[in-house]
Amino acid sequence: MASMSAQANNTELDNINRDTARAYEAYIMTFIWPEKMSSEHIDYESVLSLGDIPKFTQDSEEANQNSVTLAADIEPLKQPFDDFKQRFAKNTHLLANEHWTLIFPETGATISRAFHSEVLDDGYSEFVASVDFTLGRYLESDLTYRHFLFDTFTSVVPSPSDTNEVSQDDPMPPTTKHIEPALELNLNFNNKTASTKLNYIDHPIIGTLIYFEPLELEDAIERISMQQLMDNPPDEGSANLTE
């Protein structure tokens, strides 16, 4: 099975086989249903170690946005979830609303994408996800989700003093509030659909909408090239050399 874990560079885009390649704009929206709208109880598991839970710095957050999702300046081709958002936005908590331009080099190819919800304090995200898109007879989406519930605690910032003794006249050392994932829900979904069909993946806690819009191959190449140019703009020195 062919695989593309990241979109091709310009050279690879130029070498795409026009006879076998297929292009789509893929849309995924994930959200949380409120407890009152579900009668089923779902148990979360305790987080035993923080070592395998991703944390995001500001730099890595910007890199993530650049590498896995289209920049805000490149508008989506459609707004396939508008009707849902108008009907349920007040009752649901949006986790992520993503869209990507995908070029499958041939039938059987897989393209992987990762995404997450807004970064919270201390660099954690409430929701971390990945998806493998595979082009076969249908468009297949293999989704892996991790949703976290957090504990908050307050810790004392260590004093720079060499001694542990604190005078009664000294002010109390400053404190800082932290959050850490305490409980985790792991989910995996597999969905097969034709393009231009709005799909809903049901779950008592996390709902998912998926939609694919077919693209002309040249249009898809242009959109990806624009994204690459926005991610890696030429510096002034390079621009002057080409003039």
Q: Is the pLDDT of residue 237 over 90?
A: no
Averaged pLDDT, 72-97:
85
Residue 43 tokens, joined? 């148990």
Count other C-beta atoms under 10 Å from residue 204's C-beta.
13
Q: Is the pLDDT of residue 158 over 90?
A: no
pLDDT tens for 132-156 read 999 999 999 999 999 999 998 776 6
Q: Is the pLDDT of residue 164 over 70?
A: no
Query: Can you give the pLDDT at residue 3?
Result: 41
Query: Can you give the pLDDT at residue 85?
Result: 86
Q: Is 94 exposed, middle or buried (0-12, 13-18, 19+ CB in 10 A)?
A: middle
Averaged pLDDT, 153-169:
59
* Residues listed for the chain: 243
pLDDT tens for 25-58 read 999 999 998 877 666 888 999 999 999 999 987 6
Q: Is the pLDDT of residue 64 over 60?
A: no
Q: Is the pLDDT of residue 207 over 90?
A: yes
CA dihedral 47, 64, 116, 121 (to 10 degrees): 60
The answer to whether 184 and 148 have CB atoms below 8 angstroms apart is: yes
